[in-house]
């Protein structure tokens, strides 16, 4: 900091205000704060943001290259590029119908992602953040939001995730703003990955989505829709996981790039 002043810690970030801002501006980046390398402080800040949602790895997911190259690794823990997606695509919970007693499995996606950057990979390893609001604004003729709201999709995934997921709404309603938001996982084949591949179809489109899928994937990377973020060490970021999708570009195999992520509701 200038004049020898100490940087404020991430504990001074007004997390509830950041949460509210994220609904309308989506990812909120806080730069220049201290104690981002302290796991306990990072977790306490996440609790100020919302209810912390542990997964199988615990509370903090340390996103870095595991150096594994076998099929049961996944692209999250590699230096590969990743498909556009939302977090929670492969996270499930079992719910019981209070009337029938029947149990079914449903996706349990988090409302927010809370990131901090520990190590960068200079000049690569960018994170891309496309906005549903902007994507739907730029839908080409003859596609409309009303049309997309009638569509469902599914995907068949192999490798680490090994999941078959169907009857997913293409658009969902944001719980705060009421805006339509895209729910999507980009098709990903063996030409792009050594790990999990996925085949995606639009289930109630006559052509299985052959016309629409390339349009969605092109718009997701469109500079009018998608922000390209170059991380700096110590960055703290809150992302609205309903309003936004995200991905990562590839980075050098020998880089020690590392992000920490916590899911919150």
Contacts of 151 (CB under 8 A, 6+ apart): 169, 170, 171, 202, 203, 204, 205, 212
pLDDT reported for residue 55: 84
The mean predicted confidence, pLDDT, of the chain is 93
Cα 220 to the chain's mean position, in Å?
13
pLDDT band at 92 (very low <50, low <70, confident <90, very high): confident
Q: Give the pLDDT of residue 154.
A: 96
pLDDT tens, residue by residue, 31-61? 999 999 999 999 999 999 999 999 888 999 9
* CA 65 to each of CA 79, 86, 121, 167, 170: distance values in angstroms, whole numbers, following the listed order: 6, 20, 11, 33, 31
| Nearby residues of 9 by Cβ (< 8 Å), 6 or more positions away | 33, 34, 35, 41
Closest C-alpha among 180, 192, 186, 190 to residue 243: 180
Short-list 45, 73, 49, 43, CA closest to 61 = 43
Are 165 and 203 in contact, with CB atoms under 8 Å apart?
no
Summarize pLDDT for 137-177 with one digit per residue, the tens.
999 999 999 999 999 999 999 988 788 999 999 999 999 99
The Cα 77–Cα 79 span in angstroms is: 7
Could you tell me the pLDDT band of residue 245, with boundaries at 50, 70 and 90?
A: very high
152-157/164-169 β-pairing: antiparallel
Domain at 10-264, CATH from 3.60.130.10, 3.90.170.10, 3.40.50.300, 1.10.10.1100: 3.60.130.10
For the chain, give every domain's residue range. Answer: 10-264
Asked whether residue 4 carries a pLDDT value surpassing 60, the answer given is no
pLDDT score recorded for residue 219: 98
**CA–CA dist 3, 1 (Å, integer):** 7
**In 10 A of CB 68, how many CB atoms?**
13
Q: Determine if the peptide bond prior to 104 is cis (ω within 30°).
A: no
């Amino acid at each position: 900091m200038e004049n020898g002043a100490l940087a404020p810690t991430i504990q001074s970030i007004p997390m509830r205000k950041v949460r509210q801002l994220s609904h309308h501006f989506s990812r909120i980046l806080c730069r220049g704060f201290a104690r981002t390398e302290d796991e306990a402080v990072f977790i306490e800040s996440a609790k100020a943001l919302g209810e912390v949602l542990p997964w199988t790895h615990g509370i903090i997911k340390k996103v870095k290259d595991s150096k594994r190259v076998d099929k049961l690794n996944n692209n999250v823990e590699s230096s590969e590029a990743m498909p556009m997606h939302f977090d929670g695509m492969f996270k499930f919970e079992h719910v019981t119908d209070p009337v029938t007693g029947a149990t079914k499995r449903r996706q349990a996606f988090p409302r927010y992602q809370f990131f901090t950057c520990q190590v960068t990979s200079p000049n690569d390893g960018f994170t891309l953040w496309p906005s549903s609001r902007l994507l739907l604004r730029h839908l080409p003729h003859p596609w409309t939001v009303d049309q997309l709201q009638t569509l469902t999709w599914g995907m068949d995934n192999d490798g680490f995730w090994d999941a078959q997921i169907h009857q997913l709404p293409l658009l969902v309603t944001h719980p705060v703003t009421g805006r339509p938001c895209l729910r999507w996982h980009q098709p990903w084949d063996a030409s792009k990955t050594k790990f999990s591949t996925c085949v995606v179809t639009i289930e109630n489109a006559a052509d299985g989505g052959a016309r629409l899928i390339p349009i969605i994937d092109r718009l997701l990377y469109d500079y009018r829709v998608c922000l390209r973020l170059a991380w700096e060490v110590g960055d703290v970021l809150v992302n609205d996981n309903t309003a936004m999708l995200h991905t990562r570009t590839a980075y050098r195999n020998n880089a020690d790039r590392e992000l920490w992520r916590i899911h919150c509701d």
